[in-house]
Amino acid sequence: MECHCLHSPQMSSFSALQVINLQGYSSPRRIPNKTLSPRPLCSLHSKPFLGLNDRIPPFIYPENSSHLSLRRYRGPIPAQASNQPWDFGRFVKTLNFFNGLPNPAKVGHASEFDAFKFRVQLVITSFVFLKFFEFLIKRFSSPEPSEPAKVMEASGIVLVVGATGGVGRRVVGVLRKKGMPVRVLARNEEKARRMLGQDIDLVIGDLTKENTLVPEHFKGVKYVINAASVIVGPKEGDTPDRAKYSQIKGDTPEMVEYIGMRNLINAVKEGVGLRNGKVLFGLEDNMFKDLAWCALDDVVMGGVSESTFLIDPTGSENGGPIGLFKGTISTANNGGFTSIRTKNFAAPVNLSAYDGLELRLKGDGRRYKLVVRTSSDWDTIGYTSSFDTEEGWQSIRLPFSSFRPVFRAQTVFDAPPFDPGKIFSLQACFHKFEYDGKLNPTFVEGAFQLPVSSIRAFIEDPITPRFVHVSAAGVTRHDRPGLDLSKQPPAVRLNKELGFLLTFKLKGEDLLRESGVPYAIVRPCALTQEPAGADLIFDQGDNIMGKISREEIAWICVAALGSPYALDKTFEVASVIPFSEPFMIDPKNPPPEKDYDMYFKNLKDGITGKELLEQSPALV
């Protein structure tokens, strides 16, 4: 039951048999849940904690014991060798919030015998819990030596879409050369394996059919290179003047370039992440995301510390809503911890795209802990990170690599690495102890409060593109005022005849730019089969013409994944070699790999070429 709620190595044992002398149980009142109003977030539910027919560990009552009396007990229950009475009612409420105790009111017309069984079971359940806590107390008295905790490792798979096309299969080749994990999304398995090898990590799906892009395809995917495109005439082997250029073959530009892009973004967004992070608690787009928190204090071990979690609708630094973790902590009865913990999320939250959790809070100079659980089980390892606060509002970042596996106050050195892909619950703690018997140097008894305005997952700086998209030069020119179309490439001249190919390419780009996903959009000029290695022209504003090697584009796409200079940039690329001059290299002496950052560094934000187009928009 590791929750930093059980961390008191000096806590003395007390007899569990002193707390079972009660009769009956009435469910605590449900507290109304009113959004953005101060309230304790401890709404109770009736999920059974232990069914009437469930088995429990055997135990023996002392002979002639009076503790099985079923007369009603009222008032606080004293704990042996303690200074203050123990609040058994709050203990029961805590258990009921997280696990649920049977409620006879939910049984219907239960017989007196059923009611008797319920009361006996409640007595037994309480006894078993308290005997379990006694075991934990003894265990904590002998702290183990601490060692460095294991660090999480991320898979970082690169998904290549359109991998059987001219650019896509070259992208796969570059990724393999660099030793990067690659997965391919293709429609035709036989074709993909024939072109890319039988051992390729392959998933079958169609961008134009959303139901084929199932979540299992994208597990472990952190990056995407999208080279999918409609088929226009021959993809390779055309003449310099594009004499073989012909009509669209297969799916329409709208289905591939626009709807397909929308489907792909929706499918991979959770895995690749958002530039500004993922909000778990707090304001996002003027909506307040709340969680079901409840106190989990040392009352579960006989202590008297008490905390709660409230929503203050105007408590933030900007006058907006916050969550307020507050209470009073005491070492009476050998206690000394308070915490708030969420119920398990309805479905595990995938944070594999991110590097840690950031808390925006108003500190008080104390050290707290944040616990993240990757299992739905109650009594399980909690991956835990301590953090110090200062007075005033501040942002505190906790990298996932700082979360150590802890179970019942001890570091678990052989625990599996922290998996941010399946987060089931969160917990915030203020505790007398750290880990493995060490003391919290900021611990003081008395009142405390920690206002928290947000908890969000973040991507560590410097952020690099997670989604690289291969578009095309010319996407903004088809309706640009004053442009001589006769001097433009065929796709620009024939945009309408080609089903508004460039129009839908631009709409697909816009979807990516507006998605919040860290991106780079590469717009090659006319693609050729020439080798990479020629000097290049990088430009913005959608003005240049020329040719560019498919192999070079593949290298540029892979380089963009690792460059913060390419983040959120849209740019065109061409070779300095004119169409009339073929480019060749000596296979025995190939040119060195380029440092593409020298090109990316000169790119600017917000330049797409739409600036002129938007002055005279075209209707589609």
Q: Give the best-scoring range by mean pLDDT among 296-305, 333-342, 553-562.
A: 553-562
Tell me, what's the pLDDT at 379? 84
Closest by Cα among 235, 280, 294, 228 to 255: 228
- Angle of the 550-561 helix axis to the 166-177 helix axis, nearest 10: 50
Q: How far apart are the first and last CA of the chain?
A: 60
Q: Is residue 277's pLDDT more than 80?
A: yes
What pLDDT is stored for residue 479 in this prediction?
84
389 and 259 within one domain: no
Q: What is the predicted pLDDT for the residue at 503?
A: 96
The verdict on 111 and 168 lying in the same domain is no
Q: Using the predicted structure, report yes or no on whether residue 127 has a pLDDT greater than 80.
A: no
Cα–Cα distance for residue pair 508/206, rounded to 1 Å: 16
CA dihedral sign of residues 378, 379, 381, 385: positive
Q: Which residue type is seen at 280?
A: L
Alpha-carbon distance 505 to 497, whole Å? 15
Evaluate whether 515 touches 265 at the Cβ level (below 8 Å). Answer: yes
> Is residue 8 domain-shared with residue 105, that is, in the same domain?
yes
Beta strand extents in 408-535 (DSSP E only): 410-411, 425-431, 446-458, 467-470, 519-524, 526-528
Q: Is residue 148 part of a domain?
A: no
The per-residue pLDDT for 413 is: 95
Based on the domain organization, do 258 and 319 belong to the same domain? no
Q: Tokens 């307040």 identify what position?
A: 288
Position 210 pLDDT exceeds 60: yes
Nearest to 95 by CA among 291, 300, 380: 300
> What pLDDT score does 88 carry?
53
Checking if the pLDDT of 597 tops 50, the result is: yes
Whether residue 462 has a cis bond before it, omega within 30° of 0: yes
- Whether 388 is covered by a domain: the verdict is yes
The pair of three-digit structure tokens given for residue 36, joined into one six-digit string: 């953005």
Residue 149 lies in a domain: no
Is 166 contained in some domain?
yes
Total domains in the fold of the chain? 2
What are the pLDDT digits (tens) for 16-55? 333 333 333 333 333 344 444 444 444 333 333 333 333 3
Query: According to the model, what pLDDT value does residue 538 have?
Result: 98
Listed range (165-174, 506-515, 517-526, 581-590) with the worst mean pLDDT: 581-590
- Banded model confidence at residue 300, pLDDT cuts 50, 70, 90: confident
Percent of the chain with pLDDT strictly greater than 70: 71
Give pLDDT, residue 95.
Answer: 55
Statement to judge: residues 290 and 422 lie in one domain = yes
For residue range 54-92, list pLDDT tens digits in order.
Answer: 333 433 333 333 333 333 334 443 444 345 665 555 555
Average pLDDT of span 360-366: 98
pLDDT digits (tens, 9 = 90+) for 385-402: 999 999 999 999 999 999
The candidate with the shortest Cα–Cα distance to 537, out of 525, 519, 521, 555, is 525
* Residues 17, 127 contacting (CB under 8 angstroms): yes
517 inside domain? yes
Q: Which residue has the higher pLDDT, 180 or 121?
A: 180
Question: Lowest-confidence range among 98-102, 344-348, 385-389?
Answer: 98-102
Position 130 pLDDT exceeds 90: no
- Whether 302 contacts 378, CB under 8 Å: no
Tokens of 304: 């008297």
* Cα angle: 292, vertex 295, 301; to 5 degrees: 140
Query: Would you state the torsion angle of the CA atoms of residues 600, 602, 607, 609, taken in this order, to the nearest 10 degrees?
Result: -90
Looking at the fold, whether 523 and 427 belong to one and the same domain comes out as: no
Q: Are strands 392-399 and 467-470 parallel, antiparallel or unpaired?
A: unpaired
How many CA atoms within 13 Å lie on the side-chain side of 95? Answer: 21
Query: How confident is the model at residue 354, as a pLDDT?
Result: 97
Residues 422 and 332 in one domain: yes
pLDDT over 90 at 107, yes or no: no
Domain assignment of residue 131, yes or no: yes
Note the pLDDT of residue 139. Answer: 45
- Tell me the C-alpha distance between 493 and 486, whole Å: 7
482 pLDDT tier (thresholds 50, 70, 90): confident
In a domain, 374, yes or no: yes
- Report the pLDDT value the prediction gives residue 242, as an integer from 0 to 100: 57
Contacts of 462 by beta carbon, 8 Å cutoff, 6+ apart = 564, 567
Say yes or no to pLDDT of 619 above 50: no
8 A C-beta contact, residue 175 and residue 197: no
Which of 459, 486, 505 is where one domain is finished? 459
Q: Please count the helices (runs of H) and the strands (runs of E) in the chain.
A: 11, 26
The string of pLDDT tens digits covering residues 426-477 is: 999 999 999 999 999 999 999 999 999 999 999 999 999 999 999 999 999 9
Of 483, 582, 487, the closest CA to residue 531 belongs to: 582
pLDDT mean across residues, the chain: 80
29 beta partners = none
- Predicted TM-score (pTM) of the model is 0.76
Last residue of a domain, one of 437, 459, 481: 459
Structural domain ending residue among the three candidates 459, 491, 514: 459
d(Cα 271, Cα 239) in Å, to the nearest integer? 41
Q: What pLDDT score does 490 carry?
A: 87
**What confidence score (pLDDT) does residue 249 get?**
79
pLDDT at 318: 93
pLDDT for 15 equals 36
422/232: higher pLDDT: 422
CB neighbour list of residue 505: distance below 8 Å, 6 or more residues apart: 253, 257, 471, 472, 475
Torsion of CA 68, 69, 71, 75, to 10 degrees: -70
255 and 181 in a common domain: yes
Q: For position 588, which CATH number holds?
A: 3.40.50.720
Residue 302: what residue type?
G
Is the domain of 206 the same as that of 325?
Answer: no
Interval 103-112 mean pLDDT: 44
pLDDT digits (tens, 9 = 90+) for 536-574: 999 999 999 999 999 999 999 999 999 999 999 999 999
Say if residue 287 is in the same domain as residue 264.
no
CATH code where residue 438 lies:
2.60.120.430
Could you tell me which residues come within 8 angstroms of residue 6 by beta carbon, excluding any fewer than 6 positions away? 133, 136, 140, 300, 301, 408, 409
- Rounded CA-CA distance 516/512 in Å is 8
537 and 423 in one domain?
no
| Distance in angstroms (rounded) separating the CA atoms of residues 33 and 35 | 6
Same domain for 268 and 279? no
Instruction: Print the domain residue range for 566.
Output: 157-272+462-613
What is the rounded distance in angstroms from the CA atom of residue 38 to the CA atom of residue 604? 46
* Residue 150 domain-assigned (yes or no): no
- For residue 99, pLDDT over 90 is answered with no
Let me know: does 553 contact 526? Beta carbons within 8 Å: no
